[in-house]
A and B are shown apart, each in its own frame.
Chain A
Amino acid sequence: MSPDFNPWEKDLLDSLEDNSDLKDNVLNLLEDYYSQPRGMRPSRRVSAPPKNLRADNRILLYLENISVSFDGFKALNRLTMYVDEGELRCIIGPNGAGKTTMMDVITGKTRPDRGQAWFTREHNLLRLDEVAITQVGIGRKFQKPSVFEALSVLHNLDLAAKGAKSVFAALRARSCAGEAAFLEQTLERINLQDNRDTAAGKLSHGQKQWLEIGMLLMQKPRLLLLDEPVAGMSPSEVDRTVDLLQDLEGEQSIILVEHDMEFVRAVARKVTVLHQGCVLAEGTMEEIQQNPAVVTAYLGEAQC
């Protein structure tokens, strides 16, 4: 037995003494885990499984009854929403509907007053901080393109690559080692292969947006949150972004917040409309457009 096992792991193996198949399985899993370098091991901080979450194994993200208020203003009001594995979900809604606040809750930037948020049935998002949430596989793009302007495109992507990110790991790391092939692939995907050595600050607005998406892809996330990725893009850039997102669909789940209806129509299968902090309607674009509550919400007041 490997001396690395901690007491509870040893207890577990001892208790499986009678069931040799299961014991071998567990042993293999543990050995796999310990064979990885310390910094690369996935987080084992798994919270107690939620009892009252909707039971459905395809669901990747659970948001249930989330409420957030700022000085009495209810930014989110008992918001409930589920996102499936591999789904591309668009969120639309008028200004102040709570779209960005919802993203803040998912990524740990804002803590809700009540409700629960789970990523798969393993990770309680309300117990993790921003960095830990990134590590369990949620990547977020900000509304304003934010890339590391002084660094080259290649270095931007390299820094984002999945791997150990402690101070000492970064100090020891050789640049661009190991992940080179994946990096090339990502560069091509975001169409910046000719700009690899350009400083990110010199890129056009649209290219910065793509670079930021590329940085998220380097982390191999299971869920991507994109906040208005086509804001300020030229029509041809928007088309390329549509291609990029359709290319990604199925590989990872995507939540997209967007104002540009043409764009939403081009990419979305399922659309959620937020209004005054809760879900007003959910369905395909056609269903949404015919929904009277949505029409009134965009034109005037509506109650949900």
Chain B
Amino acid sequence: MLRERVFNTSTRLFTSCTAAFAAVIAFCALMPEASAVHLNNHVVSLLGKYLCFALLALSIDLVWGYLGILSLGHGAFFGMGGYVMGMYLMREIGNRGMYANAELPDFMVFLNWKELPWYWTGSDSFPFVCLLIVAVPGLAAFVFGLPAFRSRVSGVYLSIITQAMTFALMLAFFRNEMGFGGNNGLTDFKSLLGADIHSQGMVVTLFALSALALIMAYLVCRVITTSRLGRVFIAVRDAESRARFIGYRVEYVKLAAFVLSACIAGIGGALYVPQVGIINPGVFSPLFSVEMVVCVALGGRGRLYGAVIGALAVNFIKTWFTTAFPDIWLFFLGALFVLVTLFLPEGLAGLPTALRRRLQGKTP
């Protein structure tokens, strides 16, 4: 019964396409270098990075598409997951750093710190870090969401305070005293679980894990959105006070979705950091979060796969565009957003339906 409910055509298509894409890329990456289809580590990591953005977009769609909560600060949760992973990777460097200090990361030695701050405790234990990757963003979302949803902050006001939250975090993380590397962030990673982080095996593994995480997160979201709870989400989105007056505690419904969404974003961030090799306060910049929201809008919200399509499409274009015409990327993104909103209100994922309608000669 669960299988029938969750695995509709689009879900089967999505999971098989993602799995096939990941398999092909992994296969090409593992081909000998002389082969025509060989992909180098750089390309594989780049694709892995897109998948992490797709995870973030998916998490935004869960709250925006289904509950109508427009978060302009989801990058903060992505960044928290990323920083937790970054702390672990910093500890893994050990005495291979510039200052060859086995206890302290380079930037702390540089700042003349004598010991690790308390909040770095346990960051050398991989299982503990894995826990923190979901716990930190989840807890942050809980602490932020509980008062906000209880006092019924919604709509544009909620969007503004989410943006303020991520902006405040950015300013805080820029400070060296915070103990997260300040402006430069955390970088120069050497290994993960003892294996060289730049080795082909590690690069392909991280890429495959990102694809797996994306599929799993998609399925979790699917199970939830097709359950009765998913219909409660839509009820809250369409008529919040009606939902409250038939007996649903709207604030907890929102909070549950927001926390889950933050956890997914955190996993995305944690997979992003080892593949990109750096995490800095830039992930907390409002611009990054807004860009991800634009991805979801372009892909089409309220469908889950739309968010993934949007994130992949925008980032593919971005990679090409910022090399070819670096100065006008933001203008282009803005124009794309306006055009899609005007001509494809349901986003790229709504394109097939729109075309079919056009062919049948019906007005939308």
Contact = CB atoms under 8 A, between A and B. Distances in A.
Interface string A81-117: 0000000000000000000000000010000000000
Contact of A171 (B224, B234, B235): B224
A170 B227 contact: yes
Interface of B: 1, 224, 227-229, 231-232, 234-235, 237-239, 241-249, 252-253, 256
Given A150-B234, A170-B227, A171-B228, A215 B249 contact: no
Contacts of B238: 147-151
Given A149-B239, A174-B1, 10 more contacts: A107-B245, A131-B249, A134-B246, A139-B245, A147-B239, A148-B243, A151-B235, A151-B238, A166-B252, A171-B228
Contact of B234 (A135, A148, A166): A148
A130 B245 contact: yes
A134 B227 contact: no
B227 A131 contact: no
Contacts of B245: 107, 130, 134, 139-140, 142
Contacts of B242: 142, 146-148, 212, 215
Given A148-B238, A148-B239, A215-B246, A173 B228 contact: yes
B227 A173 contact: yes
Nearest to B246: A160
A159 B230 CA distance: 11
Most buried by B among A165, A172, A215: A165
A130 B252 CA distance: 14
Contacts of A147: 238-239, 242
A167 B246 contact: no
Interface in A269-303: none
4 tightest Cβ-Cβ pairs between the two chains A and B: A170-B229, A173-B228, A134-B247, A146-B242
B178 to A, nearest CB: 34
Contacts of A130: 244-245
A92 to B, nearest CB: 23
Interface of A: 107, 130-131, 134-135, 139-140, 142, 146-151, 155, 158-160, 165-167, 170-175, 212, 215-216, 218-219
B228 A159 contact: yes
B231 A155 contact: yes
B152 to A, nearest CB: 11
Contacts of B241: 142, 146
Contacts of A216: 246
B249 A166 contact: yes
B239 A146 contact: yes
9 contacts: A134-B247, A140-B245, A155-B231, A158-B228, A158-B231, A159-B248, A160-B246, A170-B227, A172-B227
Contacts of A218: 246
Given A131-B247, A150-B234, A155-B231, A167 B252 contact: yes
A149 B231 CA distance: 11
Contacts of A158: 228, 231
A159 B249 contact: no
Contacts of A159: 228, 231-232, 235, 243, 246, 248
A219 B243 CA distance: 12
A219 B246 contact: yes
Nearest to B256: A167
Contacts of B224: 171
Contact of A170 (B1, B232, B237, B246): B232
A15 to B, nearest CB: 35
A131 B252 CA distance: 12
B59 to A, nearest CB: 18
B364 to A, nearest CB: 15
A218 B247 CA distance: 12
Contacts of B246: 134, 139, 159-160, 215-216, 218-219
B244 A175 contact: no
A135 B247 contact: yes
A280 B244 CA distance: 33
Contacts of A142: 241-242, 245
A159 B238 CA distance: 13
A135 B249 CA distance: 11
A168 B239 CA distance: 21
A143 to B, nearest CB: 12
A236 B292 CA distance: 51
A248 to B, nearest CB: 17
Contact of B247 (A148, A165, A212): A165
A166 B251 CA distance: 11
Contacts of A172: 227
A143 B194 CA distance: 65
A234 to B, nearest CB: 24
A86 B234 CA distance: 34
A151 B241 CA distance: 16
Given A166-B249, A170-B227, A170-B228, A131 B244 contact: yes
A212 B235 CA distance: 13
B328 to A, nearest CB: 38
B241 to A, nearest CB: 7
A174 B252 CA distance: 20
A3 B107 CA distance: 59
Nearest to B223: A171
B249 A165 contact: yes
A135 B248 CA distance: 10
Contacts of B231: 148, 151, 155, 158-159, 175
Nearest to B302: A150
Contacts of A171: 224, 227-229
Contacts of A167: 229, 252-253, 256
A151 B234 contact: yes
Nearest to B252: A167
Contacts of A140: 245
A126 to B, nearest CB: 17
